[in-house]
Amino acid sequence: MEGLGRNGSGVKNGRKVCLSFATSPVAEDPQDLIIATRPLSISHLAPALQHLSSKTPRRQPEKRHIPSPVFLPSENHDTATASLSNLRLSLRSPKSPPHRQPAMAPTLPVTRLALGYPPFACDFDPQDATRLLVSGGGGANRSGVPNRITAVDAPFAENPRIAAEADLSRDEDAVNTIAIGQKKPGGSNKAPTFVYAGINSSTAELEKGKNEHFRVFSMAPSSSKSEKTAHTAVLNELSRTALFQHGEGDKETYQRLLRVSPPNPERPGQKQVGAVATGFAKRSQIVIFEVTPGQPPKSRGVLDISREATDLDVIQTGDDSFQVAYCDERELFVINVTKDDVTGPDLAYSMPEDGTGVQPSFRAIRYISPVFIMALSNLPRNSGVCLNGIRLPSGDIEEGRLAVSAKLPRFMTRAASFAVRNVNTPPGPGDRLGNTQFVIAVASFQTISLYTVEHRSAAHLDLLIELVPVMALKDVHPLNITSLALSAFAPPKAPNPTNLVINLASVSLNNDVAIHTIPLKKLKQQGAPAKKAGGPPRPSRYAVALVPPSKATRPLILLTVVVVILAAIAQYVLKSGVDPSEFFPKGTMVTPGKGGARAVEAVLPEVLTPGEFLARLVPEATTPQAGEVYVVREDAIPHADLEQAQGKENVAVPPQIKAELHEDTLKGKPAQSWDELSAEQKALWKARLEDAGHWAEHLGTGVFKGLVFSQIAGAVGQAVGG
């Protein structure tokens, strides 16, 4: 049997085949039998199945669901259910329930589309929210599994349909990565859209030391009126290029990662900057390139890196400036790209150590804005998944800081893919993001978790807050999810739109596509300037319409239980005349007039002085003296805190806030007293301090007197003057 492609298609240049046979997609039955063995060939399967069937008592024949063998991706992908050295057989016992379809979340509509090949990547067209591209295949093989790129039309709340399909050579590798560029300039709706993909050349070409892995396709409306095909578009290959620089001895290298900056709607036809990274390379590389519609890619630089890149992303920061971010398992780096120069890489953030030698590892990254990156990380030993919002270095900030973080539910043991999308129209390059919301989708095996995070802007301050769970979609696919994509937000043209949604697409090793519809709602803009007569309408703002679980659910339940218990005790005391002290430990009942008032006063003071407020941040601090300056900053979350949150579902882990005494004053630094802050800034600071547990509404704002607030080293500065 010929080997299949690198991305789970099995044998490539001598590698063994990894097969998965499953008689039912349901995996929770305790009678399932899992067998892990040494590498097996196809000839080993018959004795193994015969031995297993002999252990099963015979019964009347019945119709069973036995799908075809599914080829798993290589060990380079976390979505594989077994490594290339293992064979997984899942067999149902005669007493197991019949095959049933996975249960779907009833609150999100879903549509599905079957493919004829295993997909490994998907991406929505940034200029058409209803157009999805999917890619994958069986690699170099003669097994009949094709290599394809499929364009899917996915109208909101309608069944998806195939709009175009490119059937590629079966002598080459599967389509591992894909990205959608912009349309050809000209303004016509029939102008082609450019598509970029990663496809390894054939084995014969690799033996010659030639690997034209970077491919450019055009996707244009079909002009054919033939009734033999229902396709409405055509995919054609335009060019192929070798971007990596490797010798003849590095034949296993393939294009593992591909990202391209989103098109600039203000300047159609402007160049885009992208990046590709190697996989299975003896010498890991990242290549930065620029593409212009209708022209071949132009390399801007080749970067040799010490560790293989786990993920990367690209964002446009100005008219002619871009930034590339990439991470390995431990560190995050940024590269700045201008019209004439490429600088970097510069270390932006390191995964914190807690002294045990065990650290979380980066899995994927996506830009929120030029200020923030959302990172997905896996905890060691498949013990959990975390989302981390990281503030990137800028100006006086020399290192990145953790802005917001959340521990995902316990059933999310290891993340494979995630997607991030602004639910409002993004600003132009170089403009501030403003107040908006992002939706985040995280895939772990067959499950997807949805989160939202709020971005707030006030004066010169940007914050990420309220990273909260929204919904979990379990058993979305029978087999592992390989890629996720969220459609771009399409601003409604009607003044009062009724169908505000974005699409969430997921593809899996079950050779299918699932598209969920996420509802949005229009928000009332408080404090927005009134519309001027004859002027343009005020910009609308939208948010996910799903209601997240209340943060106060558990405390409310506990309070209800306590009230019920106390009411029962009170009723019993009133009826029986029993002394209330019998129900409480000795020493908890204070006799009136004998220190009761003093006891209450000692436990809950009514006011705090600025010195006492500072003591909450720095317990060892004494009364501030004249000239002393305390700088309060957000510190990274220790790994130990994340380990403690493993057993809790939907736990948001707030960043640590530390206060340090500095001898230098804040001369030359922008700082304002509490009274000088704007109303929006005051609200942001209240929320920040309240989330950290250092301030509450009943304390009032008097505790802020004598303090000034500024941004120092990417955090909050507090200076206490005498």
CATH number assigned to the domain comprising residue 200: 2.130.10.10
Contact between residue 345 and residue 326 where contact means Cβ atoms under 8 Å apart: yes
Q: What is the pLDDT of residues 579-623, one digit of tens each?
A: 666 655 555 555 554 444 444 333 334 455 666 666 666 655 555
Query: Does residue 425 sit in the same domain as residue 460?
Result: yes
Query: Does residue 716 sit in the same domain as residue 588?
Result: no
Distance CA 522, CA 343 (A): 41
Distance CA 423, CA 436 (A): 7
Query: Does residue 184 sit in the same domain as residue 83?
Result: no
Range of lowest pLDDT (125-129, 345-349, 547-551): 547-551
Query: Does residue 596 sit in the same domain as residue 676?
Result: no
Query: Does residue 562 sit in the same domain as residue 668?
Result: no
The whole domain housing 234 covers: 110-396+409-524+540-544
In this prediction, what percent of the chain has a pLDDT beyond 90? 42
pLDDT score for 721: 42
pLDDT score for 509: 95
Q: What is the mean pLDDT of residues 537-562?
A: 74
Q: 């696919």: which residue's tokens? A: 477
Q: What is the mean pLDDT of residues 513-526?
A: 88
Going 309 to 313 to 316 to 320, the CA torsion angle's sign is positive
Regarding predicted confidence, which is higher, 640 or 73? 640
**Per-residue pLDDT for 31 more than 50?**
no
Confidence band for 264, pLDDT divided at 50, 70 and 90: confident
In this prediction, what percent of the chain has a pLDDT beyond 70? 63
Q: What is the mean pLDDT of residues 163-171?
A: 94
Query: Does residue 590 sit in the same domain as residue 635?
Result: no
Q: What is the mean pLDDT of residues 74-88?
A: 35
Confidence band for 38, pLDDT divided at 50, 70 and 90: very low
Range of lowest pLDDT (81-85, 130-134, 272-276): 81-85
**Tokens at 301, concatenated:** 């630089």
Q: Is residue 165 part of a domain?
A: yes
Q: 């390995």: which residue's tokens? A: 328
Q: What is the mean pLDDT of residues 491-502?
A: 81
* Highest mean predicted confidence (pLDDT) among 48-52, 185-189, 264-268, 512-516: 512-516
**Per-residue pLDDT for 659 more than 50?**
yes
Query: Does residue 206 sit in the same domain as residue 304?
Result: yes
Distances (CA, A) of 185 to 195, 220, 259, 270, 296: 15, 13, 21, 9, 15
Contact between residue 485 and residue 513 where contact means Cβ atoms under 8 Å apart: no
Regarding predicted confidence, which is higher, 636 or 606? 636
pLDDT score for 402: 94
pLDDT score for 289: 97
DSSP notation for 229-242: ----EEEEEEEEE-
Mean pLDDT over all residues of the chain?
A: 75
Confidence band for 575, pLDDT divided at 50, 70 and 90: confident
Q: Is residue 103 part of a domain?
A: no
**Per-residue pLDDT for 532 more than 70?**
no
Nearest Cα to Cα of residue 293 among 190, 236, 216 = 216
Domain boundary among 91, 126, 142: 91
pLDDT score for 695: 74
What is the domain count for the chain? Answer: 4
DSSP 8-state code for residue 429: T
Omega prior to 345 cis, within 30 of 0: yes
Range of lowest pLDDT (96-105, 239-248, 283-292, 438-447): 96-105
Q: Is residue 355 part of a domain?
A: yes
**Tokens at 130, concatenated:** 């209803």
Confidence band for 518, pLDDT divided at 50, 70 and 90: very high
pLDDT score for 617: 63
Q: Is residue 617 part of a domain?
A: yes
Which strand ranges, in their side-by-side order, compose the sheet holding 119-125? 119-125, 128-137, 147-153, 161-168
Q: Is residue 269 part of a domain?
A: yes
Contact between residue 132 and residue 505 where contact means Cβ atoms under 8 Å apart: yes
Domain boundary among 49, 64, 91: 91
pLDDT score for 33: 29
Query: Does residue 611 sit in the same domain as residue 659?
Result: yes
**Per-residue pLDDT for 713 more than 60?**
no
Confidence band for 357, pLDDT divided at 50, 70 and 90: low
Q: Is residue 11 part of a domain?
A: no
Query: Does residue 594 sit in the same domain as residue 612?
Result: no
Run of H or E including 333: strand 331-337
Regarding predicted confidence, which is higher, 34 or 102? 102
CA angle 500, 501, 505 (to 5 degrees): 170
Regarding predicted confidence, which is higher, 215 or 353? 215
Run of H or E including 391: strand 385-391
Query: Does residue 141 sit in the same domain as residue 131?
Result: yes
pLDDT score for 555: 66
**Tokens at 172, concatenated:** 């080459």
**Per-residue pLDDT for 325 more than 70?**
yes
DSSP 8-state code for residue 43: G
Regarding predicted confidence, which is higher, 19 or 248? 248
Q: Is residue 470 part of a domain?
A: yes
pLDDT score for 258: 98
Range of lowest pLDDT (16-25, 140-149, 391-400): 16-25
Distance CA 696, CA 698 (A): 6
Interstrand relation of 19-22 and 88-91 (parallel, antiparallel or unpaired): parallel
pLDDT score for 684: 75
pLDDT score for 442: 98
Confidence band for 552, pLDDT divided at 50, 70 and 90: very low
Q: What is the mean pLDDT of residues 621-635?
A: 56
Nearest Cα to Cα of residue 288 among 329, 344, 250, 234 = 344
Q: Is residue 534 part of a domain?
A: no
pLDDT score for 678: 76
Query: Does residue 426 sit in the same domain as residue 373?
Result: yes
Q: Does the pTM of the predicted model rise above 0.75?
A: no
Going 663 to 668 to 671 to 675, the CA torsion angle's sign is positive
Distance CA 589, CA 595 (A): 11
Q: Is 179 helix (H, G, I), strand (E, B) or coil?
A: strand
pLDDT score for 355: 67
Q: What is the mean pLDDT of residues 287-302?
A: 91
pLDDT score for 649: 56
Distance CA 617, CA 659 (A): 6
Query: Does residue 448 sit in the same domain as residue 508?
Result: yes
Confidence band for 499, pLDDT divided at 50, 70 and 90: confident
Range of lowest pLDDT (61-75, 173-187, 363-377, 383-397): 61-75
Distance CA 658, CA 398 (A): 17
